[in-house]
Structure 1
């Protein structure tokens, strides 16, 4: 299988520096399924092409996952020829530095968008190519490969050319994710670490892709738990996507002359939670279901919070939070501890804190498990105050891109009306010795209320759980 990368950026031979491959040599990399060769069929000042050729060892084919679903599918398949996850893995190994956007010799060029042309002679799933690459700024040309005899029509393969102006790292990450997505399968077992790979490679483009749901589902081999985690991590990053907008429905940037810039709902929610915490006077805080750490950084930046614990059941979410926290100053990072734990089970490590936050968490828990969550948080951990936010389902009619009767995210198990949230919160408060008050988050609509609802629970001293 073959993949070519061409640029006309002058001098074009700088492509060799970006790929960390000398144009005058043939470079060989061993993979788990065969041998990958990198060579330069053209290396002129005005045009340079790097080719990645993967030779799959025949004896490796029978042990691969995937293949066609028939008796001899493990032995008779397209794996040696079509651009699939095998080529994506070879790309990652051969171009590892370029994939990360790192270039010791040309750091400025690595950060610059340059004209690129990507060629793939045999790409499966060609009807999806325009749909997946087009929104990323690629001009896509697909020539279907006919079956033999031609009277049988076209095969599922296409000769594909992508043209666009991108950073080389972005182009390689597009390919790394979308090659196995187009094929619809992977040649290896998909485990939890694949979520981290997807988030890392999808940074800056996947969260806002109109076919994000299809991409995450196919890349993660239709494993629902992994796709839920990946989508939650993508949604948790306010730099990529407002967590309360349906996927692909972005808040438009305000015009330059707008006196009051649009503030995203995710930011308003964070600010509302911080304001509620400030009202409690808390200094030691739990962020329960912290996800990728959106709130943790804000808590660490405020010196009133002397100890902050971020807790989540997902190892991938905690790994993403750890990466986010690396941006903090050492003195801020030192005040934060990350713990892996399930919020529906009592955990003695979470007791004794002044306040806890469940920000956009309860709707990700099956309703049948909510009593267990309440026991673990309000009964066992029993902080002095608890801040809970959750979507207001009544507001969903104000989202034109959200189909009637559907929820804001695929991972939501439910979405409550204001009355339903008030009923649940009131029952929890009465059961565990708390008082509760409610606050709207976001602009209030006179008919359907605010997009997010917040409940502030305060423990009544002297009242047992």
Structure 2
């Protein structure tokens, strides 16, 4: 089996430092199931490609084992050729430092997102082409897939269950390798070694930063752990406890702290009223509310018959339950209930459910996202979902001095990663608009101070 990894980062040969493998000579490493070879078919400053070739010895692998599947089953199979758990293990052992994000010679580059391309000549996926896309596209990959014929010399025999896959992305090399480590065995659905409790910790360690919010999380876990329900449940519990549970705890107090601080000036009510009035004026009929919280905006829109389709996306399951209670979803008349839906999801991964809406709203959301993940949020909303109108509100930090109960230097909520001045928000918003073909206007919300501005700043993007 073979994997080709390429980059056009300048100088491209720096990928050799990240992989701890010199482009000047081929290298080999013995594995428990065969031998891994690393070599560079191309190495220049403009483009550098490295190949990981895994030579599996199926006879040595099964020698001494039983033949429960038949005397030839262990010898006549596709495992030496199809990207699977064999390749994942080889990646982990041959590129261990790169997968861990470590590079003595290029430490800064190891933390940098660079253009990367991956070619996998043969993979197998239980869910077919659609499932391959559902695995990789939410992570920001460009995906090209070719279905391979059963036999090129006999086209009448039809297609095989195998695919040729090409991936492209701009990401940290460590992130790319850990995602391949989890997804290749999950898609193949058949690991070559015993699956036990230690595999649960592996998938949590490798997938904890991205898997918990992946739309296909449960399917990936089931494939990676060979559909052993107890292990899948254990892995899911650990993922939720290590990631989403933290998010949920933060989300539980998100509305409470800010509303308490801003209650005297009725700021939350003014925000919702301003956003609803804007959407009504623009003639919007379908609305996506990302980071919908407890559904305060959606509850207003639901009472207005102009809005015939609404979707709220929120990472916290607890907060979604509260939103469902606020909206009384289980007691709505059928026609009214058909206009609105709530779904759990991440704001930093591509999600097909977010596409096709006239307007998208992110009300007091971006300040809860790590600055390093804002580009992913930007792509999710402006590049992939791409509504005609995007409404974003965020605190104006200049106004904070007017809150008597807020200590100097403190942000309005302990989960805020940042709060921007009006100039900082305008700079970010204008750059986003320019990158994605939008124009943007800015509107104050709340009492306007002549020097400090308004407590909330709203950007309205349109294309």
- Normalising by structure 2, report the TM-score: 0.53
RMSD: 3.7
1:400 partnered with 2:405? no
**What is the alpha-carbon distance in structure 1 between the residues aligned to residue 84 and residue 247 of structure 2?**
32
1:361-419 per-residue CA deviation (whole Å, 9 max, x = no partner) reads xxxxxxxxxxxxxxxxxxxxxxxxxxxxx99997896593469xxxxxxxxxxxxxxxx
In structure 2, what is the equivalent of residue 166 of structure 1?
171
> Given that residues 212 and 243 in structure 2 are in contact (C-alpha distance below 8 angstroms), is that contact kept between their aligned partners in structure 1?
no
1:227 partnered with 2:235? no
**What is the alpha-carbon distance in structure 2 between the residues aligned to residue 173 and residue 80 of structure 1?**
22
User: 1:200 Cα shift?
Assistant: 1.0
Change (3 A) 1:205 1:118: same
Question: Which piece of structure 1 moves more, 58-67 or 17-26?
Answer: 58-67
In structure 2, what is the equivalent of residue 115 of structure 1?
115
1:182 partnered with 2:182? no
**What is the alpha-carbon distance in structure 1 between the residues aligned to residue 91 and residue 64 of structure 2?**
18
In structure 1, what is the equivalent of residue 30 of structure 2?
30
User: 1:243 Cα shift?
Assistant: 5.0
Change (3 A) 1:141 1:392: closer
In structure 2, what is the equivalent of residue 74 of structure 1?
74
Higher helix share: 2
**What is the alpha-carbon distance in structure 2 between the residues aligned to residue 10 and residue 259 of structure 1?**
49
Secondary structure of residue in 1 paired with 2:231: helix
1:316-359 per-residue CA deviation (whole Å, 9 max, x = no partner) reads xxxxxxxxxxxxxxxxxxxxxxxxxxxxxxxxxxxxxxxxxxxx
**What is the alpha-carbon distance in structure 1 between the residues aligned to residue 66 and residue 6 of structure 2?**
31
Secondary structure of residue in 2 paired with 1:237: helix
1:255-279 per-residue CA deviation (whole Å, 9 max, x = no partner) reads xx9966999989xxxxxxxxxxxxx
Gaps of 5+ in 2: 272-289, 295-317, 330-339, 345-463
- Normalising by structure 1, report the TM-score: 0.53
1:136 partnered with 2:148? no
In structure 2, what is the equivalent of residue 12 of structure 1?
12
**What is the alpha-carbon distance in structure 2 between the residues aligned to residue 67 and residue 112 of structure 1?**
48
Q: Map of 1:170-249 to 2, 5 A cutoff?
A: 170-238=175-243, 242-243=247-248
**What is the alpha-carbon distance in structure 2 between the residues aligned to residue 66 and residue 144 of structure 1?**
34
**What is the alpha-carbon distance in structure 1 between the residues aligned to residue 327 and residue 98 of structure 2?**
42
Secondary structure of residue in 1 paired with 2:145: strand
Secondary structure of residue in 2 paired with 1:207: helix
> Given that residues 208 and 243 in structure 2 are in contact (C-alpha distance below 8 angstroms), is that contact kept between their aligned partners in structure 1?
no
Q: Map of 1:49-88 to 2, 5 A cutoff?
A: 49-62=49-62, 72-88=72-88
In structure 2, what is the equivalent of residue 438 of structure 1?
none
1:46-81 per-residue CA deviation (whole Å, 9 max, x = no partner) reads 000010000011322435999996663212100111
Change (3 A) 1:204 1:70: same
**What is the alpha-carbon distance in structure 1 between the residues aligned to residue 204 and residue 64 of structure 2?**
25
Secondary structure of residue in 1 paired with 2:226: coil
1:391-449 per-residue CA deviation (whole Å, 9 max, x = no partner) reads 9997896593469xxxxxxxxxxxxxxxxxxxxxxxxxxxxxxxxxxxxxxxxxxxxxx
1:197-250 per-residue CA deviation (whole Å, 9 max, x = no partner) reads 1011102210110000000111111111111111111111346874599xxxxx
Change (3 A) 1:74 1:241: farther
**What is the alpha-carbon distance in structure 2 between the residues aligned to residue 397 and residue 238 of structure 1?**
28
> Given that residues 208 and 240 in structure 1 are in contact (C-alpha distance below 8 angstroms), is that contact kept between their aligned partners in structure 2?
no
> Given that residues 186 and 223 in structure 2 are in contact (C-alpha distance below 8 angstroms), is that contact kept between their aligned partners in structure 1?
yes
Secondary structure of residue in 1 paired with 2:219: helix
Q: Map of 1:316-465 to 2, 5 A cutoff?
A: 398=329, 400-401=341-342
